[in-house]
Homo-oligomer: A and B are copies of this chain.
Amino acid sequence: MPSSPKIRPSRPRLVSDVAEWDMETDVAIVGFGGAGACAAIEASDAGARVTLFEVASASGGSTALSSAEVYLGGGGGTRVQQACGYADSTEDMFQYLMAAGGDIADEAKVRLYCEESTEHFDWLVAMGAPYKDSEYKERAIMALTDDCLLYTGSEKCWPFRDVAEPCPRGHNLEVEGDNGGPLLMKILTEQVEKRSIQVEYNARALTLIASEEGEVLGLVVRIDGEERNVRAHRGVILCAGGFVMNPDMLAQYCPRLVEGPMPIGNPGDTGTGLLMGQSVGGALLHMDQHFITLPYYPPSSLTYGIFVNGQAQRFINEDCYHSRIASRALDQLGGKTYLIVSADDYDHPSFMNAPIVGTGETIEELAEEVGLNSGMLRHTIEFYSEHAARGEDPLFHKSAEWLKPMAAPYAALDCTLGEGAIYAAFTLGGLDTRPTGEVLTTEKELIPGLYAAGRTACGIPRTAAGYASGLSVGDATFFGRAAGRASAGRPPEV
């Protein structure tokens, strides 16, 4: 069949319009990133015929572009946690993730994720993922050494430390530098290749094929310029990423991301998977939510500083996770954010690129250069320092290890979005799914034959304020596997 210009992901092809099936499989998977790879491996290991369709010429997806940290723990601890002396509990992990997710957390997913987290770690190891039994003790976004374990969320910070016993759960691969993503995808790709999984690269998924009753029977893909009708007897799994590369969808749902923040993702993150799911009734959840961050550490010494808004007020405990700080910063009235530091603690930030917009031997001098009210700034700094000297932060409960009085001279970094500081972002909204990956309508009805995982689904990470590094790849690989098993176990429709 020649390529038709009219076919769109937002309208399914009715099976009555399918003259013939060009390909057949049990489980068809859209997207060969972390979620798709894990779905394919598990579906294949469960005995299903599997075909992976990837729009790019190679596997990888956004997982390959990430550090591939995974956020895992509970159950007495992963092998690495135990080796480092952490007997992590499932309940602490659950309570932490529920508190971090706030009122939009998906309790069923969080529960399953925590309960089966150590098993998932063991599975990744069995696939060949190397994790060293060591801890990286610095405050950092990722381990740039080959060390494994790291605090990557706000577990040790108020208010979360009062909710659950803190434990580091970020697991980094045994590789130097920010090379975890390529390594993990190399390992998973080799596992896919070992199995009788059919992989079609340069294959663009165009739309789903559905019955008039709404069951998903397959999908249309374009390979070598030709449309192919693919019959998937057990199910289609959408693992096609988020929509951070689709400017129209960003303008509609996350206008703040259209200009300014650096998008985190691969060119295929155009929302096609979300549109395909929506076209058969799948509910899109929390489309306005996004991860956004101001990677202001390392150096961790900047944590001794204080963030203030345009009113020269503090607004957050500065020791918490960087995207939580970014999220609160962007919510401040007027949107202005400055990081005030003592010159003693200043060291050039590795990633942030925020311009220094003021320095001063006195607070008044600093305030004038920055354009803040000097009386308010003086009070904010003095109040902070006076209490910090006693190891206290009565307003925001910053941990004692990061409290010390601020001494002159001072410097102010402008962290306002759009003023030079690097922000980075990706989307968190996606299809509503059960923990099995089964896609749901707004009325919580099942769409037979359709599954989603990774950022095509609305998963464990749902807000920047509650994010921790490792949640996206953790969620994508974990729920990718679940979707693979669920679809493989679905009785085939004839």
Which residues of A approach B to under 8 Å, CB–CB? 8-11, 14, 16, 103-104, 159, 212, 214, 248-249, 252-253, 255-256, 271, 274-275, 278-279, 281, 283-289, 311-316, 328, 331, 333-334, 373, 375-376, 379, 383, 394-396, 432, 441-445
Contact check: which of B16, B104, B252, B334 meets A432 at CB < 8 Å?
Answer: B252
Find the B residue at minimum CB distance from A281.
Answer: B10
CA distance A373 to B383 in the complex (A): 11
CA distance A274 to B441 in the complex (A): 13
Residue pairs across A and B with Cβ atoms less than 8 A apart, 17 shown, are: A9-B443, A10-B281, A10-B442, A11-B281, A249-B442, A253-B286, A274-B442, A275-B442, A275-B443, A278-B281, A278-B442, A279-B281, A287-B287, A311-B395, A313-B313, A313-B395, A375-B383
A395 & B373 in contact (Cβ 8 Å cutoff):
yes
- Which residues of chain B have C-beta atoms less than 8 A from A444's C-beta? 248
CA distance A284 to B283 in the complex (A): 9
B394 & A373 in contact (Cβ 8 Å cutoff):
yes
Find the B residue at minimum CB distance from A212.
Answer: B14
Q: Copies of this chain, how many?
A: 2
Find the B residue at minimum CB distance from A443.
Answer: B10
- Which residues of chain B have C-beta atoms less than 8 A from A253's C-beta? 285-286
CA distance A441 to B286 in the complex (A): 17
- Which residues of chain B have C-beta atoms less than 8 A from A314's C-beta? 311
Report, nearest first, the 7 A-B pairs whose CB atoms are least far apart: A103-B255, A311-B395, A373-B394, A10-B441, A10-B443, A379-B379, A313-B313
- Tell me, rounded to whole Å, the shortest Cβ–Cβ distance linking A88 to chain B: 27
- Which residues of chain B have C-beta atoms less than 8 A from A315's C-beta? 333
Q: Contacts A10-B281, A14-B212: A311 and B252 contacting too (C-beta < 8 A)?
A: no
Q: Contacts A288-B286, A383-B376: A311 and B10 contacting too (C-beta < 8 A)?
A: no
- Which residues of chain B have C-beta atoms less than 8 A from A331's C-beta? 331
B376 & A395 in contact (Cβ 8 Å cutoff):
yes
A214 & B11 in contact (Cβ 8 Å cutoff):
yes
- Which residues of chain B have C-beta atoms less than 8 A from A275's C-beta? 442-443
CA distance A260 to B19 in the complex (A): 55
- Which residues of chain B have C-beta atoms less than 8 A from A212's C-beta? 14, 16
